[in-house]
Structure 1
């Protein structure tokens, strides 16, 4: 089984070995705090590698927030057709350059690392001659290391005879393990709470997603307390360091993305200000119809005919309205004699 996962187990043990050499030189190779710091910096080293995917995940979430209203419309439009809704959602996400699986990448990559660390720590046994990159001296150094009497490779619920084999007891394990469990649980709660708070409107618009996020916010801390009884002290240190890193990373990356969006808005405002504006009293110039566009030629022909009519009217001494140069049309004149004759005829008829 180990041969299939050697490509993960050996790098993880190598990083742990490197940091132990660094801190063991200062604090001593068998010092428990040197090993604890080695576990912490193992986490930090791996999380630095995952920093870029985490940043891409946050940027994708911000892009999704921009078209959240469109997602809501799709849900309302295709609420009775799940398959069509999924297709339209994928199409919309691809148009905006959002990969929904990209947000899961940082979390998925941490799973094999966590399992590899757990496997490496479990192999630190008194009878082991080596442990991947660690030789016998490295194995003995880890076994002899303790923090206030608690061995790093042991756990609280381990049988008493096995604890005695490592030179510790349950009381010492509980004195160190329980505070670590509680601290890891609190750190997990705040990490999940911050994650839910930073969820995009598109994600929280789905009632199922919102309910699951809030559910995990309370279940994950409880899981840290329950599993802490069965996890080695070194794994609890890993859990604690991972949550501390996540809290700091979310705070740092959120500020970075906020600054990026502020710069983008500032550029848009500057672009609008620098755009040419029409002079006072001048109408904005409209784009003329292109010759290859439908309807362009008839419009040009109509304009030409109108110009010809204006030219003919001008040559006849008339204006386009059909009148004389004075602007008045030919109207029949009313003479006084004709008006009197018409009045007499009207009297005779009466």
Structure 2
């Protein structure tokens, strides 16, 4: 298999993978319409004891007091909290612009993850429920001392206290604490029992969101990297590790299980939100769908804590942590075990994670993600030098045998058995293994697809500039320089490697056209991926030229000696 065919095989497989993924989204098996019962309120048993009724959908408030919004800001996050339920209804990631900076827009708005826009609804909610009914769920209206909280110079933390008081002496203080430089929010729900009877209830945390609008079609999705990323719910348990649930599967495969030491999350491209219960608590993870028979169903994943009892004059606190931020690999497992798996590489995890680690180390040295990709290619090619050298030498020897193979075809005509036997004898005599050229493809194919996932999923490459006209390695090359360069590399490779003797003229013409066809499709691939492909092609082209000439000189020396 010559180098041109190797490149084309990679390109064909990559494009086929993307097309198959998008076809599955548009035309794959769809879940049946969910039953109407899904909209009802959920009374879910806790890990120990029974919980009260948790409202699945946001109905009327449990208090006639008006709710309002408050903001809390540290150096990396700006949150908007609704005093109705103490729900976090908006989050802005201050270090991540919503779009690339340009001369016309030097300071774009921060990327928004949680969102109270009805067309992008996404909220992190929490509350308490009790069979006695005297508990503030995520619809209850709390009181706040002020409308704005900001981490000031010299402070390490900023804290927001929201309070709710029941008619029977029960007081609940819901506290959010943000720490400097951290995307983790600490939540504490403290119950003070000022009544005359023991209070029993459960705490819960949940995420609710609309499914993002789908891209219009498969062709448009080529220029939208997020269309190839996973959107949906995820959870982790120490026993079963990471699992996920796409929005289309919420009804077919509902989650309802107790977990100790795990977490729940909602995932999207580059960012995610996760509730992390205490590691020593057995919580019940569950999913459901609100408004399932409408055009805007709301998808929910919840963690319900064990029952707790508070005697008169006593208090108890239920705690949890909320992560709202980017999929920064190498940092997430320090937040919670297994959280690194939120960067969902799927079955390519074993290849993609080491590649991302190496790419990050190279970036720390060279200071540019594009240069890091180039250096990564050089390292991979150096590691596989002997393997690819064997491929090129095998190809050179096979080309030398083409006239003799053509003569065998003329001699044996349509007798395929004798023809095959004669070819095997020829290969054995000349010490040529025709399968040698396929081995590098089998080795480098996982590397290519693993790097594809790394470039598509790594938030570090989001809006990362390379040189000049390339301001975002995760988006297509805006002036198509890299795809055109790829086409030129492929044509040069074809020129260096003429078609095998006996190839059908139609096949030969198709081999010349295919690089242009695939190069045009690469116009819609992320620039970082095309940069990898171009660099790989240039290095391979140079290596092929060097080894081919080396073999030719060795043959010439043998003939003249």
Q: In structure 2, what is the Cα distance between the partners aligned to 1:60 and 1:256?
A: 13
Q: Which residue of 1 aligns with 2:444?
A: 110
Q: Which residue of 1 aligns with 2:487?
A: 185
Q: 2:464 aligns to what?
A: 145
- What is the deviation of 1:193? 2.1
* RMSD (CA atoms): 2.6
Equivalents in 2 of 1:66, 1:234: separation in Å? 38
- Structure 2 counterparts to residues 221-260 of structure 1, below 5 A: 221-229=516-524, 231-260=525-554
- Measure, in 2, the Cα distance between the counterparts of 1:48 and 1:211: 36
Shift of 1:244: 1.5
Alpha carbons of 1:217 and 1:88: their partners in 2 closer, same or farther (altered >3 Å)?
Answer: same
Alignment check: 8 A CA contact 1:193 1:217 kept: no
| Contact 2:392–2:544 (CA under 8 A) maintained in structure 1 | no
1:345 corresponds to which residue? none
* Gap change, CA 1:193 and 1:123, over 3 Å in 2: same
Contact 2:398 2:434 in 1 (8 A): no
Task: State the match for 1:194 in structure 2.
Answer: 496
| Aligned position for 1:60 | 394
SS at match of 1:228: helix
Higher relative contact order (CA 8 A, sep 6+): 1
Q: Higher Cα Rg: structure 1 or 2? A: 1
Q: CA deviation at 1:120?
A: 0.8
Deviation at 1:35, TM superposition (A): 0.9
For residues 209-238 of structure 1, the C-alpha deviation after alignment (integer angstroms, 9 at most, x for no partner) is x65344222211221122321x11101111
- Structure 1 spans left out of the alignment, 5+ residues: 25-33, 126-138, 156-172, 270-350
Give the Cα separation in 2 of the matches to 1:152 and 1:69. 46
Deviation at 1:184?
1.8
Q: Normalized per residue, which structure has more helix? A: 1
Partner of 1:174: 478
Report deviation, 1:37: 0.9
1:64 to 1:182, Cα distance in 2 relative to 1, 3 A = closer
**Aligned pairs for 1:27-42 within 5 A:** 34-42=368-376
Question: Secondary structure, in 3 states, of the residue corresponding to 1:104?
Answer: helix
* TM-score (norm: length of structure 2): 0.35
Unaligned runs of 5+ in 2: 1-343
Q: CA deviation at 1:5?
A: 3.1
Counterparts of 2:396 and 2:517 in 1: how far apart (Å)?
30
Question: Shift in Å at residue 95 of structure 1?
Answer: 2.7
Cα distance in 1 for partners of 2:485, 2:355 equals 25
Match 2:383 to one of 46, 49, 65: 49
Higher strand share: 2
